[in-house]
């Protein structure tokens, strides 16, 4: 049984997912810059602005975690699972995440940041938005 409240658990998961999204977008930016695109600027600006938004949110997550004495560490990863250590106000908990679930949730969040955050709430897919979302 976890001692971490649902609110803080969502923030901890943001600390896991947001860096993953930034890594993916950074790789995509490299591919676009070296690829045979005729007009690269619209794509690079779109990705860079999305990355800035994610970085702001990640900074807020890190600030909150520091204030609340919360830390997250990736312990190990294999082909099926990734193990994380959550340090929560003096308590330690280990949580296993199924890698396909990590990938799928990362994809959902990427869709949110790249285009769903600009849609009206009635048209947006009902994906749980990031906790610190400023949109």
* Residue 49, token pair as written in the block: 């602005």
Q: What is the pLDDT of residue 50?
A: 96
Tell me which H or E stretch contains 122. none
* Between 121 and 63, residue with greater pLDDT: 63
What distance in Å separates the CA atoms of residue 130 and residue 105, rounded to the nearest whole number?
Answer: 11
Q: What is the pLDDT of residue 135?
A: 36
Q: Which residue reads 């591919």 in tokens?
A: 31
- pLDDT tens track for 54-82: 999 999 999 999 999 999 999 999 999 99
């Amino acid at each position: 049984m976890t001692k971490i409240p649902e609110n803080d658990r969502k923030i901890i998961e943001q600390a896991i997912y947001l860096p993953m999204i930034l890594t993916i977008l950074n790789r995509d930016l490299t591919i676009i810059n070296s690829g045979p695109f005729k007009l690269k600027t619209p794509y690079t600006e779109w990705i860079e602005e999305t990355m800035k938004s994610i970085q702001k949110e990640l900074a807020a997550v890190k600030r909150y975690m520091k204030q609340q004495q919360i830390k997250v560490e990736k312990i190990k990863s294999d082909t099926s699972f990734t193990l994380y250590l959550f340090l929560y106000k003096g308590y330690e908990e280990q949580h296993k995440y199924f890698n396909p679930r990590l990938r799928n949730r990362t994809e959902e969040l990427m869709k949110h940041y790249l285009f769903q955050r600009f849609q009206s709430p009635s048209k947006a897919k009902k994906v749980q938005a990031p906790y610190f979302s400023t949109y």
